[in-house]
């Protein structure tokens, strides 16, 4: 029974390790920055190496080319254009670097059922000095899998962060994929200079990034990783297994 559980958990860990390796390799080829503009060329957006908004540039006298009601949409369009350019450059870099061949190799290894990675050292015992009981750890594993649909729904992939400027005149929503929305008080915006719009954007962006980071830090997938790691550590340590 225990051998079957170890085998299944090790298989999960093997696939997870292979996937993480591919992600790391792909991220190494990611462009350091990318730029794009809205269709009028009034608003220019720059993405950072992480694919998130880094900065905004607004042409002087922007109201002559863009209505205040359209400003928020123009910001979203500019970052969407930058994202499209970033993805095109990234795809080209992956192809040139042979990443697709690496993917095929990993897929073949997994299909052959090659040996998985070595199991990490078991975590330190709890503060009371007693190792976790086997039935307690396995119960956590089963509970985690019972709620895996909730994990997917609340994972870092779908997490969003929100931020507003000081007077709540400009609001942003971010995901790990980039800018989701930009809402602007049109009456206020119509009276603002390009520098004031950029300052409001920067303030909201800083808060949105902080909120997104907090959402990702609370990602329930981290809990699943911890439970699997503890279960494998316990099941592969005869001393702790005997004590449980």
Predicted confidence at residue 230, as pLDDT, reads 57
Residue 122 clears pLDDT 60, i.e. is over it: no
Residue 124 clears pLDDT 50, i.e. is over it: no
Higher pLDDT, 160 or 97: 160
Give the model's confidence band at 228: pLDDT under 50 very low, under 70 low, under 90 confident, else very high.
Answer: low
Predicted confidence at residue 137, as pLDDT, reads 53
Give the model's confidence band at 141: pLDDT under 50 very low, under 70 low, under 90 confident, else very high.
Answer: low
Find, among 7, 96, 80, 91, the residue nearest to 43 by Cα. Answer: 80
Cβ-count burial of 184 within 10 angstroms (0-12 exposed, 13-18 middle, 19+ buried)? buried
Predicted confidence at residue 147, as pLDDT, reads 54
Give the model's confidence band at 140: pLDDT under 50 very low, under 70 low, under 90 confident, else very high.
Answer: low
Residue-wise pLDDT tens digits, 169-210: 999 999 988 999 999 999 999 999 999 999 999 999 999 999
Predicted confidence at residue 47, as pLDDT, reads 97
Predicted confidence at residue 232, as pLDDT, reads 56
Residue-wise pLDDT tens digits, 12-71: 666 666 666 667 777 777 899 999 999 999 999 999 999 999 999 999 999 999 999 999
Q: What percent of the chain has pLDDT over 90?
A: 44
Average pLDDT over residues 138-154: 52
DSSP string, the chain: -HHHHHHHHHHHHHHHHHHHHHHHHHHHTS-S-EEEE-TTS-EEEEE-TTSSEEEEEE-TTGGGTS-GGGHHHHHHHHHHHHHHHHHHHHHHHHHHTTHHHHHHHHHHHHHHT---PPPPPPPPPPTTSPPPPHHHHHHHHHHHHHTHHHHHHTSTTT-EEEEE-TTSSEEEEEETTEEEEEEE-HHHHTT--HHHHHHHHHHHHHHHHHHHHHHHHT-HHHHHHHHHHHHHHHHT-HHHHHH-
Angle at 184 between CA 197 and CA 57, to 5 degrees: 30
Give the model's confidence band at 227: pLDDT under 50 very low, under 70 low, under 90 confident, else very high.
Answer: low
Average pLDDT over residues 70-91: 95
Higher pLDDT, 152 or 93: 93
Predicted confidence at residue 184, as pLDDT, reads 98
Q: Residue 5 and residue 182: Cα distance in Å, rounded?
A: 48
Q: Residue 143 and residue 174: Cα distance in Å, rounded?
A: 31
Q: Residue 10 and residue 18: Cα distance in Å, rounded?
A: 12
Give the model's confidence band at 96: pLDDT under 50 very low, under 70 low, under 90 confident, else very high.
Answer: confident
Residue 241 clears pLDDT 50, i.e. is over it: no
Predicted confidence at residue 135, as pLDDT, reads 56
In the predicted model, what is the mean pLDDT of the chain?
A: 77
Predicted confidence at residue 233, as pLDDT, reads 57
């Amino acid at each position: 029974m225990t051998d079957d559980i170890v085998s299944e958990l090790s298989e999960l860990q093997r696939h997870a390790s292979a996937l993480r390796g591919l992600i790391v390799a792909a991220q190494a080829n990611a462009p350091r920055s990318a730029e794009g503009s809205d269709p009028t060329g009034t608003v220019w957006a720059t993405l950072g190496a992480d694919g998130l908004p880094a900065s905004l540039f607004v042409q002087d006298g922007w109201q002559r080319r863009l209505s205040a009601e359209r400003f928020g949409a123009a910001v979203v369009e500019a970052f969407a254009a930058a994202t499209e350019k970033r993805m095109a450059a990234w795809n080209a870099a992956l192809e040139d670097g042979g990443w697709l061949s690496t993917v095929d190799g990993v897929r073949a290894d997994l299909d052959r059922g090659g040996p998985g990675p070595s199991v990490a050292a078991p975590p330190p015992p709890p503060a009371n000095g007693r190792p976790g009981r086997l039935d307690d750890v396995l119960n956590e594993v089963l509970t985690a899998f019972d709620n895996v649909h909730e994990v997917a729904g609340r994972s870092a992939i779908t997490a969003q962060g929100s931020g507003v400027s000081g007077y709540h005149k400009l609001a942003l929503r971010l995901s790990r994929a980039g800018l989701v929305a930009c809402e602007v008080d049109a009456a206020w915006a119509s009276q603002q200079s390009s520098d004031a719009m950029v300052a409001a954007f920067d303030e909201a962006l800083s808060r949105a990034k902080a909120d997104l980071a907090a959402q990702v830090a609370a990602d329930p997938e981290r809990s699943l990783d911890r439970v699997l790691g503890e279960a494998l550590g316990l099941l592969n340590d005869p001393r702790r297994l005997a004590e449980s």
